[in-house]
Structure 1
Amino acid sequence: MANTEKKNKKLDKRGEAAGPKKGSGFRDTVLFAGIGLVIAILIHTFVLQSFYIPSESMQNTLQVNDRVIVNKLAYRFGPVQRGDIVVFKGWDGEDTIKRVIAVGGDRVKCCDAKGRITINGEPLDETEYLYPGDDPSQRRFDVKVPAGRLWLMGDHRSNSLDSRSHMERDDRYLGTVSEEDVIGRAFVRYWPPSRVSLLSRPDAFSAIR
């Protein structure tokens, strides 16, 4: 009988059945926590990133202190789209968030006889996102967007320093921003909880060719 028990149980030096070594559970916990941390860092670095809204330039779509999640792979396999809300390295080198109004090759102009911005001659209906009471633009412009660059504007036009504000500072690029400076597309507002919402591309841009 005793021989049978020795075969079934491995005994330690004290004659007790050997179990998990002390500290092995703690080491496993530390190991899994470390792996989780590495995964979180990789996701933050290469896939998703959270940004908070510091100004009123994107009201009412985004309010001050709202938080959004940006997909950093959104344009890995396709071009930036008109109407997208993007985070990019701004004119001063800081992370900036604006809406893409026109892309490379577009002619963006303000304004037509009804006060609307036009893209390639087509009027843009901005009622879905434009700040209530704002005009599409109080400043007139007529820009052919260079290839590989973007014309960006805030939704709160009277309170936004955007492409319009930088036309004279950069005569070569007329206030546009390089697509290479885009960090990613803001696709969801997750804070505060009462304002959780997807940030979809407005339907008005689907009519632009």
Structure 2
Amino acid sequence: MTSEKTAVHAAPSGEAAGRRELRTSRRRGWLGFLRDVLVIVVVAVLVSFLVKTFVVRSFYIPSGSMEDTLEIRDRILVDEVTPRFGSYDRGDVVVFRDPGGWLPVSTAPERSPFVEGVDWALSLVGLSAPDSDDHLVKRVIGLPGDHVVCCNALGQITVNGTPIDETDYLKLPTAESAASADEFDVVVPEDSLWVLGDNRYRSKDSRYNTDQPGKGFVPIENVVGRVFLITWPFDRFGLVDFHHEDFSSVPDPADAPDPEAAS
């Protein structure tokens, strides 16, 4: 009789232990799930940060200086691998940090610490581009050593004595307009670029910054990378055309004819 009572009282105790074990198991299951989600999020943010820092970076277009190739509020992707392991070509569309004095002093209203924090966090994964206003985007016309002149009798820019047909991408006031309203005759220094906007009469580019310390040239070390894709708006999604074929006949500076010898 005693053993039966013991057995009867032992059963509830076993059921309670089972319930506790089940609750503990469920808790561990949820904790494991949350841990896995946290690991996935951290890895995703880390990968996005590394990609944004070393491979691809996002910018938006704040002005019309590159119309119609790039339009205001376009969002673009910039290849950051080129400046580290490659070189640039004439016709490339590049984003670069202000060499000094190209951009006006910012008068943007001060934002709250919360907004700044959110913007900073989104920029880590490439979803925001808070420094777009501190950068410029233009097309490379002259490489180091190139002799770039505007303009010949047909209103074309010449590079190393060869005229460039820019009709594929230039936006001009009229079909008869020269490729630049301002004349220039420059030799691009070593480790620098001569850059112009496609909306040639509405672009404050190398031509208009010759009075700055850099004389209008962009140090290659200031170049963030080469624009290769428009991602937004969706109806403009697509690759950016560099029109390398328009520069294919330009000789290297060492192979260019000497204009003084020709005269």
TM-score normalized with structure 1 length: 0.87
Which structure carries more helix by proportion?
A: 2
Tell me how many residue pairs correspond in the alignment. Answer: 195
Distance apart, 1:200 and its partner CA: 2.7
Query: Are 1:109 and 2:149 an aligned pair?
Result: yes
Flag structure 1 segments of 5+ consecutive residues without an equivalent. 1-12
Q: Which residue of the partner structure matches residue 199 of structure 1?
A: 240
Tell me the amino acid that sits aligned with residue 88 of structure 2. V
Q: Which residue of the partner structure matches residue 70 of structure 2?
A: 62
Tell me the amino acid that sits aligned with residue 247 of structure 2. F
Task: Supply the distance in 1 between the matched residues of 2:37 and 2:212 (Cα, whole angstroms).
Answer: 55
SS in 2 for 1:98: strand
Task: Supply the distance in 2 between the matched residues of 1:200 and 1:75 (Cα, whole angstroms).
Answer: 19
Flag structure 2 segments of 5+ consecutive residues without an equivalent. 1-16, 104-133, 252-263
Q: Which residue of the partner structure matches residue 208 of structure 1?
A: 250
SS in 1 for 2:70: coil
Please report the RMSD computed on the Cα atoms of aligned residues, expressed in angstroms: 1.8
SS in 2 for 1:76: helix
Distance apart, 1:207 and its partner CA: 1.7
Deviations 1:22-53 (A, max 9, x none): 31111111111111111111111111111000
Query: Are 1:14 and 2:18 an aligned pair?
Result: yes
Which residue of 180, 183, 187 maps to 1:140? 183
Which structure carries more strand by proportion?
A: 1
Identity %: 40
Which residue of 141, 156, 159 maps to 2:199? 156
Task: Supply the distance in 2 between the matched residues of 1:190 and 1:84 (Cα, whole angstroms).
Answer: 18
Q: Which residue of the partner structure matches residue 3 of structure 2?
A: none
Deviations 1:111-161 (A, max 9, x none): 011110000000000011101435310000000010110000000111000
Distance apart, 1:205 and its partner CA: 1.4
Q: Within 5 Å, which residues of 2 pair with 1:3-82?
A: 14=18, 21-22=28-29, 23-82=31-90
SS in 1 for 2:230: strand
Distance apart, 1:19 and its partner CA: 5.8
Task: Supply the distance in 2 between the matched residues of 1:54 and 1:84 (Cα, whole angstroms).
Answer: 19
Flag as ranges the 4+ runs of structure 1 deviating above 4 A.
15-20
Distance apart, 1:175 and its partner CA: 0.9
Answer with 1 or 2: which has the greater Rg. 2
